[in-house]
Chains A and B, each alone.
Chain A
Amino acid sequence: MKLVLSWLKEFVDIDGSLEELASTMTMIGLEVENIQLVGLSLPEGEHLEHVYNGLAWDKDKVVVAEVTEVMPHPNADRLVLCKLKDGQGEQVVLTGAPNLYDYKGKGALSKPLKVAYAREGTTLYDGHQPGKVLTTLKHMKIRGVESSSMICSEKELGISDEHEGVIILDEDAPVGMPLVDYMGDAVIEVSILPNMVRDACMLGAAREIAAATHKTLRNPQPKLQGSGPKIEGEVKIQITDPELNPRFVFGMVHSATAQPSPYWVQRRLHLAGMRPINSTVDATNYVMLEVGEPLHAFDYDILKKRAGGKTPTIITRAAKKGERLTTLDNVERELDDFTILVTDTAGPLALAGVMGGLESEITDSTRTILLEGASWNFIHTRRTVTSQKLQSEAGYRFSRNIHPALAKLGVELCLSRIAEWSGGQIAVGLVDAYPKPHADPALEISAEDIKHLIGISLTLEEISDLLTRLEFGCRIEGDHICVQCPPHRMDIGEGIIGKADLMEEITRLYGYDRIPSTRISDALPPQRVNIQDDIERNIKNALIGIGLQETINYRLTSPEEEMRMLPGQAQSAEKEYVELLNPISQDKRVMRSMLMPQMLINLEKNIRHADRLGFFEIGPVFLPKTNEALPEEEHRLCVGLAGLDQKKTWDRKESRKLDFYDLKGIIEALLDALHVENVIFNPGEHIFFHPGKYAAMHWNDLEIGVLGEIHPKILGKYDFFENNVLIADINLQLLKKTLPLSFRSKAVSTFPPVLEDLAIIVSDEMPSRDVETVIRNAGGDLLTNVALFDVFKGEQIGSGKKSLAYNLTFQAFDRTLTDKNIEKTREKIIKALENQIQAVVRKK
């Protein structure tokens, strides 16, 4: 909302600097976004906490002047020469302003034109360049005529982008007065909070400023004539549903003539961000900006014609689904059943609270104006604004709830403005349908309430003073205050909610910064452990300890991106996703169902930036559930490796590629860090993985995850050069089940161990895990460790066979073992190997 300083000053005295004003506004909830200077200079000698822009007008160089005669240029049709008095003397000034052509060659003007005049050396905006480019007026010759000064347009002075003609000031402008003293101004742009639409107007903002600075607010007073024809009988109002339309007010002006508004009105509208149209339309916009009530003017004669010459009846009702109306932006709209319409007996006239219809709109030839001020259900208005994608000043305000009291005030103010600027005669009286008067809440609040919620001790008198400044009616009764809400507030609720609303008003005006900071004195609640969070943190810590980098991806993806990871023919497989209704782009239209595809993309993207990549991600995947609205959010862990075992360095040029066992080692280290036991890795098949380089992780009967080397067919669809890519994917909900409740350490023996090597030959098909199990089972308590140190295949041992060599550690807790002590155990192991898995023990 653009607030115009001079306009605010009409309602409240402002004595501090602009910077102080802006700070005051920000600290009561009218957050100042920027300040545009329109003539005034930047506050001096202060630390500025706001963003200022705009143009200061030089007091000596930019003044009010009067043009006494407009003469033709000797060499150019589109230029004129103006005889001008600036309070210091008379000169001739060159201009090309089209709005002066009419006066050309008419001799001395009977009524001189007041203009904004800039002398040589003035810095202002270049009117001929787009945007705001500063230029300094210099002496020059244009088509043979000397020129060094200028009659200014709004654009040149930074008032608006208007450069069609020069500014013609109002007649009372004093010649010779510095322009900044006459109409120097500033525009304070504030963001209006959704519950503060009452401040989306000059009066509302001024009310807040008055309350914050202990000033008296000057309310605007309509000036209505006391005589003339009556409105009664000229129009009827029929409100179908008071919930949709609590109030509807009509006023009427006869014989008005739309013309350009006074310059000060045009300037204010421009500064507030609206375009002046004509004196009638300007009056409706002016009042909306002034008190916050959007108004609508109908051409009464058209309504009468539509009613077949009879008294028009205006009916407000919900639209019928599919009903149509062409709005004044010339768009034919199909309406929803929640849209509220202003209609007459012949059909729809306007989208209530949003935009008027084209047909009944006032034009320059309108003579009798029917002026509507109304109150509309904000929820319905907002739905219409949203569904019609129709942003308007009216729609913005009505969809945030405007008090019905403003309907009457708005109409009255506007009638007097129309009469003043467009001429004509105001019809006496109003037609005011108010079937559902708004009950302004009456509330009670005590000092104890404030102490309890806010933490400050205020007396009832202090509370009452704060609320009274915001126009709440206050009456102290015993230990509490009876509070009556003023007739412009729609944001204060009833009962306990209203009390909370009042508390905000009191605190806001008291000053948030005056509230003492305290420590919570309330008892500490029972502490609850978040196991899921603990587990994820432990996993992350373990994985970064192993040297992996955490990644975090968009949870949004596309089915195509996920299916890129499937080999060719599987791509068509239908899969259900959590799918967005309004995706931001096609590649982010579903919630991911897997972590692996994004991991693969992360690796692909980074492979050219590093020799070795080791990533992990922990996060949810989203799996729709049949018969349930909400999807399963399954937390998973994905680990991805690509590239070389070791980074190349200046003295290490060669390194092997990462392979299955590097990934398996990482997973084993993770399980070790979590003290998870008995997870076994089984071969199998998986569509993503190389069939020979894949394992599923099992714990009891659960498959908790998978790992392996990505299938060469899939890898071919990505750009990985010659690198292997390895990925593990683990379901954290299942991993959680494998975690031991507690973990106990084992004692370390102080007696020396006996170390032995054992080499055996087994079938190539024999999983090494089975061999180890046989050894361990046979070894008993004395065998404390079994470590595989060599795997060998070759001619010497025969085809289809492999040799496995183990370091065995024997150790006791109570004595030093000798070779003899372990003889029996060794024999048991060898026998078990021979009998159970037909191993051949290699002699040393």
Chain B
Amino acid sequence: MEENKDLIVILQQIQQKALEALQKINSSEDLEHWKAVFLGRSSEVMQVFKEIPAMEVGMRPVLGQKANIVKTELEKHFEAAREHIQQAALTNSITQQKLDVTLPGRLPERGRLHIATQTLQEIYRILAEMGFQVYRSREVESDEYNFELLNIPAHHPARDLWDTFYTKKDGIILRTHTSPGQIHAMHEYAPDPVRIILPGMVYRYEQMDASHEIQFNQIEMLAVGKNITFGDLRGTLEEFVKRMFGSGVETRLRPSYFPFTEPSAEMDMKCIACSGKGCTVCSGTGWLEILGCGMVHPTVLMNGGYDPEKFSGFAAGLGTERISMLRYGVDDIRNFWANDIRFLKQF
């Protein structure tokens, strides 16, 4: 009886001793050592198990139970301590691996389209959604296609609208607008209806400065059909401007003159830099001229192979570098063909 009581006391002492020892442990090595000492084969708990068969039969279950409880309790604490130590070790290592996240990343080479191409492609996308397809034509043109067939006879004062580069071959010039493509396209399409855009580089004999270039991209829209109206022109252009500059943008049409359209108009847009209050971008007027347009002149329709009694059409053109300049605040058009990587990589 006394012996039984002694063993129970011993078990209690073992547990107390072991837990005290465990509390001081903070490394996995020490923990493994502790496990060997307090839960290993030759540990005191295991010794108690060995002694149980020598005990009184009636006491054995009680003792066995008690020893098991102590063993389980130690194992539970061991697991907890192991968990704790692992966590601490991980936390410790993470702390030591801290980076300076403000150091710059290693940038891969990012390819980019030239800003002029980006703007052109955006316009293609918008107009493609509206049913207009890209049609290209040559840049070195004949006077006939650039002027004559567009209702601009030789020596006509309307020619003052375009300062022209002439080549040394008689009658061959650098196209001053993408409009010769109107004639090429009509010749190709007639008598089918037409709905195309004519993009590309055009040339003007000008003194170059921050807002004048000798070479720039233009996009022209051309729609020819049996029921195309001035109202359609206005509706189409307004839709285009809204998609390009945002649905809130305000526009107006005012009379203008182009030899190849009649009636002719220019579309102005409320200045996007100052919302129409007046600033340096819009020269204080609150309006920006963005495109020229009109109903295709009967003479041009005829020259294209369409009967102006039956067919009508509209055309509209805009300079796309100017659009880029407005949108991105580029203040000098000469940046576009200078190919300075410091400019190009901003887009």
Contacts and interface: CB of A to CB of B under 8 A. Distances in A.
Given A549-B111, A555-B201, A524 B339 contact: no
A144 interface: no
The listed residue with most A CB atoms (<10 A of its CB), out of B136, B225, B226, B230, is B230
Contacts of A544: 111-113
Contact of B225 (A27, A525, A630): A525
Contacts of B135: 530
A814 interface: no
A512 B268 CA distance: 12
A438 interface: no
Interface string A56-69: 00000000000000
The listed residue with most B CB atoms (<10 A of its CB), out of A49, A383, A400, A614, is A49
B136 A532 contact: yes
Nearest to B262: A500
Contacts of B286: 47, 49
B117 interface: yes
A591 B112 CA distance: 26
B140 A591 contact: yes
Contacts of A26: 254
Interface in A553-600: 553-556, 578-584, 588, 591
Interface stretch (A161-169, A451-459, A679-687, A763-771): A451-459
B189 A525 contact: yes
A547 interface: yes
A382 B113 CA distance: 44
Nearest to B208: A584
Contact of A548 (B111, B236, B336, B340): B111
B111 A51 contact: no
Contact of A649 (B106, B263, B298): B106
Nearest to A378: B157
A519 B226 contact: no
Interface stretch (B1-9, B55-63, B84-92, B160-168): B160-168
B142 A630 contact: yes
B341 A518 contact: no
The listed residue with most A CB atoms (<10 A of its CB), out of B167, B171, B257, is B167
Nearest to A521: B227
Interface in A361-380: 378-379
Interface string B232-271: 1011101100000000000011111100001111000000
Contacts of A545: 111
A616 to B, nearest CB: 9
Contacts of A28: 255
Contact of A503 (B208, B262, B278): B262
Contact of A605 (B203, B214, B256, B340): B340
Contacts of B157: 194, 378, 382, 399-401
A455 B230 contact: yes
Contacts of B106: 649, 652
B140 A631 contact: yes
Nearest to B254: A27
Interface stretch (B30-38, B68-76, B192-200): B192-200
B110 A452 contact: no
B215 A554 contact: yes
The listed residue with most B CB atoms (<10 A of its CB), out of A400, A549, A602, A612, is A549
Given A512-B265, A650-B104, A547 B110 contact: yes
Contacts of A748: none
A543 interface: yes
Interface string B328-339: 000000001101
Given A525-B189, A552-B339, A553-B337, A512 B228 contact: no
A581 B166 contact: yes
A496 interface: yes
Interface in B135-172: 135-136, 138-142, 153, 155-158, 160-161, 165-169, 171-172
A517 B171 contact: no
Contacts of B104: 649-650
A609 B283 CA distance: 35
A528 interface: yes
Interface string B86-119: 0000000000000000011011111111101100
B285 A49 contact: yes
A50 B286 CA distance: 8
B29 interface: no
B268 to A, nearest CB: 9
A48 interface: yes
A673 interface: no
B192 A525 contact: yes
B187 interface: no
B234 A517 contact: yes
A47 to B, nearest CB: 8
A476 to B, nearest CB: 22
Given A399-B157, A520-B225, A530-B135, A580 B113 contact: no
A497 interface: yes
B262 A504 contact: yes
Interface string B194-233: 1100000101011110000011000000010111111110
Contacts of A512: 234, 252-255, 263, 265
Given A51-B285, A497-B298, A454 B139 contact: no
A527 B345 CA distance: 36
Contacts of B238: 517
A650 B107 CA distance: 12
Interface string A496-521: 11011101100110001101111111
A522 B193 contact: yes
Contacts of A630: 138, 140-142, 172
A553 B140 CA distance: 16
A633 B138 contact: yes
Interface in A41-58: 47-51
A620 B137 CA distance: 11
Given A517-B231, A622-B139, 14 more contacts: A49-B278, A196-B257, A456-B231, A497-B297, A512-B234, A518-B234, A519-B236, A521-B227, A530-B136, A545-B111, A550-B112, A614-B111, A633-B138, A652-B106
24 contacts: A28-B255, A29-B257, A51-B285, A196-B257, A401-B157, A453-B229, A496-B308, A500-B262, A513-B252, A515-B231, A518-B231, A518-B234, A520-B235, A524-B131, A549-B111, A549-B341, A550-B113, A554-B214, A555-B215, A580-B168, A584-B207, A584-B208, A614-B111, A622-B139
Q: Which are the 8 A-B pairs with shortest beta-carbon distances?
A: A455-B231, A544-B111, A455-B229, A547-B109, A29-B255, A522-B225, A517-B235, A504-B263
